[in-house]
């Protein structure tokens, strides 16, 4: 088996061998090497303890050294190449951990063999190693075969593996999304039977795995695997809840299937690195996933076999905010995704009756920096199979976007303000600061949105007219 190994790995292996220590490249880098995928960071394990290999790593990694993982037997270093790029490595002493059933944090115990270390890895495709510098390939659990088949299987009994570290269940789903693999039946059954164990994992770690799933090449596959395994019932229950029972007398789209289509379409609408929504965009993908989660709570059966979901946008925005906060997403992400969910139906009225310029300005103002994402979410949400309706919708969206471009050539949407500021309002009306000034300011802002920029005299006349009507 021929391996294209980074020269830094060979060099480091030689340094360890000179001191009488074993060193092996392990885990993801070996897997990615066999898949011909780039791997920027290198993970190693060694027979040496941290105190023994620290001098080697410090002398090799002259451009950076860290020891935050020392208590777990891990030290890291950075070495820059002549072209300015760098290689980052982490080296860990062979491990043979014991786990507390009430925690996924192991009681660290150093091992004495490479095979023993590999046995504690999450999946066989990550339990392969390459000894350096002699390039001996080590695969005690059949990872090569599983890699060729695209199978995820644990190197030891899956129930024991997930009992030790429940986060491995989420990692299985992540590899479905990232690598396009499928979970071996016995391993999949173990996940389904042990989903409750995910409850001992911190929200932050669950969130991080969910983010990796959504930012992968196949986010839909990952979400479907989350739902099929039962994990979503615990970490994102609003998504499996979209599988609404279809009443034979009432017709509506299967909301879960629709959501998966919207997620696919939103991903396809992301842009290149120089575009307005560079791929992969977590905000857009979260909004696509969550945009209809208000439907189960708002479903109503109407006369004539119709089903309605009135105000599901507003209800969904509240549910989105609650769920993302529970998963400890940053505040700006919570607010941005919630806002997109709240606004995702806003454009639909334009299709029936094109808006005035003032309505277009309000749409852009309300969307703010989310304007490009909102338009992509709106387009992705139009999943009708009726070609005429689809073409009408696309044409309306194209028209609205062109009107926005034309309006932006005349005025700066990003800084729309009333033609009169608060101080001018106080001076012109001869009033003191207070609630009336705020009301006047809001009226003049609405007037500005309706009329666009106007001459100063016209703005003054409108302010006086409005103020007179308040008395």
Give the tens place of pLDDT for each residue, 110-147: 878 999 999 989 999 999 999 999 999 999 999 999 99
- For CA atoms 329, 335, 340, 342, give the dihedral sign: positive
Separation of alpha carbons 342 and 367, rounded Å: 10
Contact 363, 347 (CB under 8 A): yes
Q: What is the pLDDT of residues 418-430, one digit of tens each?
A: 777 788 888 888 8
Q: Where are the beta strands (DSSP E) in 315-394?
A: none
Q: Is residue 249 over pLDDT 50? A: no
pLDDT value, residue 100: 54
Separation of alpha carbons 284 and 264, rounded Å: 11
CA dihedral angle for residue 290, residue 291, residue 293, residue 295, rounded to 10 degrees = -170
At 450, the pLDDT band (50, 70, 90 cuts) reads confident
Produce one character per residue of 95-130: b if its CB has 16 or more CB atoms within 10 Å, e if not: bebeeeeeebebeeebbeebeebbbbbbbbbbbbbb
Q: Which two tokens stand for residue 358?
A: 């003032």
pLDDT value, residue 430: 82
pLDDT value, residue 108: 62
Q: Is residue 248 over pLDDT 50? A: no
| CATH 3.30.460.10 domain position(s) in the chain | 1-149
**Phi/psi-derived region of residue 64, left when phi > 0, alpha when psi is between -120 and 50, beta in every other case:** left
CATH class of 1-149: alpha beta
Percent of the chain with pLDDT over 90: 63
Produce one character per residue of 204-225: b if its CB has 16 or more CB atoms within 10 Å, e if not: eebbbbbbbbbbbebbbbbbbb
Percent of the chain with pLDDT over 70: 94
Distance of alpha carbon 458 from its chain centroid, rounded? 48
- For CA atoms 188, 194, 196, 197, give the dihedral sign: negative
- The one-character DSSP state at 65 is E
pLDDT value, residue 414: 62
pLDDT value, residue 2: 65
Q: Is residue 246 over pLDDT 60? A: no
Q: What is the pLDDT of residues 353-394, one digit of tens each?
A: 878 888 888 888 889 899 999 999 999 999 888 899 899 999
pLDDT value, residue 95: 86
Q: Which two tokens stand for residue 407?
A: 């309006």
At 250, the pLDDT band (50, 70, 90 cuts) reads very low
* Average pLDDT, integer, range 432-446: 82
Report the number of secondary-structure helices (H) and strands (E) in the chain. 23, 13
Separation of alpha carbons 74 and 90, rounded Å: 7
Highest-confidence range of 34-48, 238-252, 429-443, by mean pLDDT?
34-48
Q: Which residue has the higher pLDDT, 275 or 101?
A: 275
* Average pLDDT, integer, range 437-452: 79
At 104, the pLDDT band (50, 70, 90 cuts) reads low
Query: What's the whole-number average pLDDT of the chain?
Result: 89
């Amino acid at each position: 088996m021929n391996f294209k190994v980074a020269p830094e790995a060979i060099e480091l292996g030689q340094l360890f061998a000179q001191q009488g220590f074993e060193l092996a490249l392990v885990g993801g880098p070996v897997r990615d090497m066999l898949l011909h995928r780039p791997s920027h960071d290198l993970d190693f394990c060694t027979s040496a303890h941290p105190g023994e290999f620290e001098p080697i790593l410090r002398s090799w990694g002259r451009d950076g050294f860290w020891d935050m993982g020392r208590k777990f037997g891990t030290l890291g270093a950075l070495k820059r190449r002549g072209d300015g790029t760098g290689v980052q490595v982490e080296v860990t002493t062979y491990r043979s951990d014991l786990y507390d059933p009430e925690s996924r944090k192991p009681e660290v115990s150093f091992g004495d063999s490479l095979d023993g270390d590999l046995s504690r890895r999450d999946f066989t495709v990550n339990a392969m190693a390459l000894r350096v510098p002699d390039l001996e390939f080590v695969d005690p659990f059949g990872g090569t075969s599983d890699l060729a088949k695209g199978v995820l299987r644990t190197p030891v009994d899956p129930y024991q593996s997930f009992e030790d570290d429940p986060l491995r269940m989420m990692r299985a789903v992540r590899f479905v999304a990232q690598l396009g693999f499928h979970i071996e039946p016995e391993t999949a059954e173990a996940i389904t039977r042990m989903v409750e164990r995910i409850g001992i994992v911190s929200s932050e770690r669950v969130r991080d795995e969910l983010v990796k799933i959504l930012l992968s090449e196949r986010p839909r596959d990952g979400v479907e695997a989350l739902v099929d395994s039962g994990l979503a019932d615990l970490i994102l229950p609003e998504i499996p809840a979209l599988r609404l029972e279809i009443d034979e007398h009432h017709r509506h789209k299967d909301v879960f299937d629709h959501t998966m289509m919207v997620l696919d379409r939103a991903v396809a609408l992301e842009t290149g690195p120089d575009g307005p929504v560079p791929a992969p965009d977590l905000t857009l993908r979260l909004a696509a996933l969550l945009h209809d989660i208000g439907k189960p709570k708002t479903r109503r059966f109407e006369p004539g076999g119709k089903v309605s979901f009135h105000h599901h946008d507003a209800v969904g925005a509240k549910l989105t905010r609650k769920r993302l906060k529970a998963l400890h997403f940053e505040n700006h992400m919570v607010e941005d995704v919630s806002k997109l969910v709240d606004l995702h139906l806003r454009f639909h009225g334009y299709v029936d009756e094109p808006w005035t310029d003032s309505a277009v300005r309000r749409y852009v103002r309300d969307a703010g920096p989310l304007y490009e994402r909102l338009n992509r979410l709106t387009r992705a949400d139009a999943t009708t199979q009726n070609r005429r309706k689809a073409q009408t919708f696309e044409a309306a969206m194209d028209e609205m976007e062109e009107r926005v471009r034309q309006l932006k050539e005349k005025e700066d949407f990003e800084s729309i303000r009333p033609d009169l500021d608060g101080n001018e309002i106080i001076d012109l009306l001869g009033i003191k600061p207070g609630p009336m000034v705020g009301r006047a300011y809001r009226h003049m802002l609405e007037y500005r949105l309706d009329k666009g920029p106007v001459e100063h005299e016209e703005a003054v006349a409108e302010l006086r007219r409005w103020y007179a009507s308040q008395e």
